[in-house]
């Protein structure tokens, strides 16, 4: 038996999405016959092939497994370890034979390395163990031996599977099979139950008849573990479902002691991931529990951000920008933006929009350290406050700076009380209304506004939280033409930053997300479709877009689910915005 464990290095990431495109392994020169005594030196047949070993093609089998090893703050799996299990007969190769006919495994492992994606990515693993040195060198696969090969992968492989990158840094562990005497008569007959996997994933399917395999000393039954079915709602609360609230079951061929376990679960219709457990029990009382995660076509998770700011909130002497009187330009550092954790140049808001160049897509501002007032400050840095009692809403506060007695002081003041979560939307397939693909950016770094790009929906995107809400009537936006607003809003999303406190405790460690953009028309319509209405809750996502019009990269989009009591965005000349970011 040979087990190969491949662990990604610091700069290497294996993902389900990449592995689903193309992954697997093939075996070259696998020994498939043996003799009672000495191995090796088998003659070739008259076609030049050797009947004692075979080669396969690239494939996946139940013996190719992906084991989760890393998770993000939301509990999503971010990296995997790969395990391959093989069985073969013993064999010995001389020094020269090992080079030409040695047994090896060629693996295809799509990966991300240092931020770059490698799809066609091949490695060769020689798993016959080298013995002795010099001219006496030979390679050996011993009888009745367990081989454990451990590899730490730190670099991309070759693009051509005919010339794969040979992995040389392999740690070998070997152990002999143990001999056990079994009494197979009477009451001492061996009892056993084995299931090939502890966890399976169902992606937009209601039935899985091939992932699970069992072997047992007696027939088995399969049942849903009571109380094990649950999902996380739009507030990240765990919602447990009773067995009578779901249609989940497992089955095997009646009376069989080995074979596949069929799993059925209706595909979730609420855009959440469904989690549940199945219990396999044989007639001797032995049992195994399998965890199942089931994903619908569109599924949504959420996160709780800490604070927001803009990347351009620092003093610059170029670009035609201005500074409101309470910004101390004489002591400005001009190197990093002001954030909740870094005072910088004490800039937290755009006081006014001074000029918009539609042709060159540039905007000039007057910045300030103060909060909104008198129709100024259309976008302001915000921070999450305390959770409201008996509610899942949080206080959202402006943070700003005052200068008194030759000293700057950071302050907070109430903005609103609202759901402050952002929502991560993942999609698995295109439809007649949209096409999955990463929307293109134009030469200015804004979402391209052409007709083809308008139909694209990122397969994985995050909708900004209420920390990014703007006052679309302030700072000269009221009465501004839509072509100018489009530039202003695109520039806002490009500069917008949202910071996540990983442990939701308002302190480091934090993750900074600064790759926001305007959504495409299709992305806005997807959000409107799945969000519910003012009076109808959706399980996975809050009622985010309540205005009548929202700005896409190609112009204002009408929202059929708008709040009719909200007169603040009554025309397409007064469109609101929600930024999004691609999350891969």
| Segment 148-185, tens digit of pLDDT | 888 888 899 998 878 888 888 877 776 776 555 544 44
Q: Inform me whether the pLDDT recorded for 237 exceeds 80.
A: yes
Taking the C-alpha atoms of residue 547 and residue 536, their distance in angstroms, rounded to an integer, is 16
3 state SS of 429: coil
Residue 462 tokens read as: 């995050």
3 state DSSP class of 269: coil
Minimum mean pLDDT among 186-190, 373-377, 500-504: which range?
186-190
More confident residue, 564 or 240: 240
pLDDT at residue number 101:
65
Q: How confident is the model at residue 85 (pLDDT cuts 50, 70, 90)?
A: confident
Q: Hey, CA dihedral for 518, 519, 524, 527, is it positive or negative?
A: negative
What pLDDT score does 408 carry?
A: 87
Q: At 381, is the pLDDT very low, low, confident or very high (cuts 50, 70, 90)?
A: very high
Beta carbons within 8 Å of 242's beta carbon, 6+ residues apart:
227, 229
State mean pLDDT over 89-116.
76
| Range(s) of the chain covered by CATH 2.60.40 | 186-295
Q: Which of 292, 289, 290 is nearest to 230 (CA)?
A: 292
pLDDT surpassing 80 at residue 36: no
Q: Kindly state the average pLDDT of the residues 196-211.
A: 93
Whether residue 53 has pLDDT greater than 60: no
Partnered with residue 208 across adjacent β-strands are: 263
Q: Do 503 and 488 contact (CB within 8 A), yes or no?
A: no
Mean pLDDT of the chain: 85
pLDDT bin (cut points 50, 70, 90) of residue 3 is confident
pLDDT at 90 over 80: no
Both tokens of residue 65?
A: 């497994």
pLDDT in tens, 255-313: 999 999 999 999 999 999 999 999 999 999 999 999 999 999 999 999 999 999 999 99
Rounded to whole angstroms, how far apart are CA atoms 109 and 13?
10
Confidence check: pLDDT of 393 > 70: yes
List phi, psi (to 5°) of 11.
Answer: -100, 10
Strand 456-457 relative to strand 435-436, pairing? parallel
CB atoms within 10 A of CB 205: 14
Residue of higher predicted confidence among 98 and 253: 253
Residues facing residue 173 across a β-bridge: 148
Q: What's the pLDDT band for 511 if we cut at 50, 70, 90?
A: very high
Helix (H, G, I), strand (E, B) or coil at 274: strand
Q: Is 277 exposed, middle or buried (0-12, 13-18, 19+ CB in 10 A)?
A: middle
> Which CATH class for the 186-295 domain?
mainly beta
What is the model's pTM? 0.70
Q: How much is the pLDDT for 565?
A: 73
Q: 3-class DSSP state for residue 154?
A: coil
Instruction: Say yes or no to pLDDT of 407 above 90.
Output: no
Q: Counting beta carbons within 10 angstroms of the beta carbon of residue 485, is it exposed (0 to 12), middle (13 to 18) or buried (19 or more)?
A: buried
pLDDT at 49 (0 to 100):
43
pLDDT at 402 over 70: yes
pLDDT, residue 468, reads 94
Helix (H, G, I), strand (E, B) or coil at 491: helix
| Element spanning 523, H or E | helix 521-530
Residues in the chain: 584
pLDDT band at 100 (very low <50, low <70, confident <90, very high): low
Backbone angles phi, psi at 154, to 5 degrees: -120, 5
**pLDDT computed for residue 177 by the predictor:** 61
pLDDT at 322 over 90: no
Which of 235-244, 286-295, 310-319 has the least mean pLDDT? 310-319
- Span 523-551, average pLDDT: 92
- More confident: 321 or 62: 321
pLDDT tens column, 347-361: 999 999 999 999 999
- For residues 409 and 348, what is the distance between their CA atoms, to the nearest angstrom? 13
Tens of pLDDT, residue by residue over 475-495, are 888 889 999 999 999 999 999
Position 57 pLDDT exceeds 70 = no
pLDDT given for residue 397 in this prediction: 97
Binning pLDDT at 50, 70 and 90, where does residue 95 land?
A: low
Task: Give the whole-number percent of the chain exceeding pLDDT 70.
Answer: 84
Instruction: Give the end-to-end CA distance of the chain in Å, rounded to a whole number.
Output: 37
């Amino acid at each position: 038996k040979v087990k190969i464990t491949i662990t990604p290095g610091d700069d290497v990431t294996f993902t389900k999405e990449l592995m689903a495109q193309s992954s697997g392994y093939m075996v070259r020169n696998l020994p498939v016959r043996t003799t009672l005594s000495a191995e090796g030196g088998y003659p070739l047949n008259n076609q030049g092939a050797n009947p004692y070993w075979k080669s396969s093609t690239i494939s996946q089998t139940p013996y190719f497994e992906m084991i989760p090893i890393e998770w993000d703050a939301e509990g999503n799996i971010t990296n995997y370890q790969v395990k391959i299990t093989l069985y073969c007969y013993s064999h010995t190769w001389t020094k020269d034979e090992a080079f030409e006919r040695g047994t090896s495994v060629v693996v295809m492992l799509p990966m991300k390395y240092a931020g770059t994606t490698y799809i066609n990515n091949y490695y060769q693993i020689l798993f016959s163990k080298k013995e002795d040195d010099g001219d006496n060198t030979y390679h050996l696969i011993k009888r009745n031996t367990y081989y454990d090969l451990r590899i730490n992968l730190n670099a991309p492989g070759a693009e051509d599977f005919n010339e794969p990158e040979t992995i040389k840094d392999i740690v070998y562990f070997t152990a002999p099979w143990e001999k056990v005497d079994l009494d197979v008569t009477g009451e001492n007959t061996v009892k056993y139950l084995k299931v090939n996997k502890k966890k399976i994933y169902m992606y937009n399917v209601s039935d899985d008849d091939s992932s699970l395999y069992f072997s047992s000393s007696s027939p088995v039954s399969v049942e849903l573990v009571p109380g094990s079915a649950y999902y996380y709602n739009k507030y990240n609360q765990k919602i447990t479902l009773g067995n009578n609230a779901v249609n989940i079951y497992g089955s095997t061929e009646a009376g069989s002691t080995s074979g596949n376990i069929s799993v059925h679960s209706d595909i979730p219709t609420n855009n959440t991931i469904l989690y549940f457990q199945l219990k396999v029990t044989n007639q001797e009382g032995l049992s195994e529990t399998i965890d199942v995660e089931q994903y619908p076509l569109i599924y949504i998770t959420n996160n709780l951000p800490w604070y927001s700011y803009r990347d351009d909130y620092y003093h610059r002497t170029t670009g035609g920008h201005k500074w409101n009187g309470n910004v101390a330009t004489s002591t400005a550092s001009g190197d990093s933006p002001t954030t909740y954790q870094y005072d910088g140049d004490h800039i937290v808001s755009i006081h006014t929009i001074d000029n918009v160049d539609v042709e060159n897509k540039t905007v000039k501002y007057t910045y300030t350290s103060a909060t909104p007032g008198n129709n100024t400050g259309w976008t302001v840095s915000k921070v999450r406050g305390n959770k409201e009692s008996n509610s899942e809403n949080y206080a959202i506060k402006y943070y700003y700076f005052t200068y008194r007695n030759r000293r700057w002081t950071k302050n907070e003041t109430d903005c609103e009380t609202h759901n402050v979560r952002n929502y991560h939307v993942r999609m698995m397939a295109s439809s007649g209304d949209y096409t999955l693909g990463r929307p293109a950016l134009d030469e200015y770094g804004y979402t391209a506004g052409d007709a083809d790009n308008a139909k694209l929906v990122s397969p994985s995107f995050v909708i900004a939280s209420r920390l990014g809400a703007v006052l679309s009537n302030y700072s000269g936006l009221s009465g501004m033409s839509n072509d100018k607003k489009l530039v202003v809003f695109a520039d806002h999303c490009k500069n917008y930053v949202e910071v996540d406190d990983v442990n939701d405790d308002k302190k480091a460690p934090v993750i900074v997300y600064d790759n926001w953009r305007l959504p495409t028309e299709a992305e806005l319509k997807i959000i409107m479709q799945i969000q519910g209405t003012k009076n109808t809750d959706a399980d996975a996502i809050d009622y985010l877009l309540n205005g009548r019009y929202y700005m896409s990269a190609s112009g204002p989009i009408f929202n059929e689910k708008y709040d009719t009591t909200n007169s603040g965005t009554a025309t397409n000349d007064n469109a609101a915005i929600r930024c999004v970011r691609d999350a891969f």
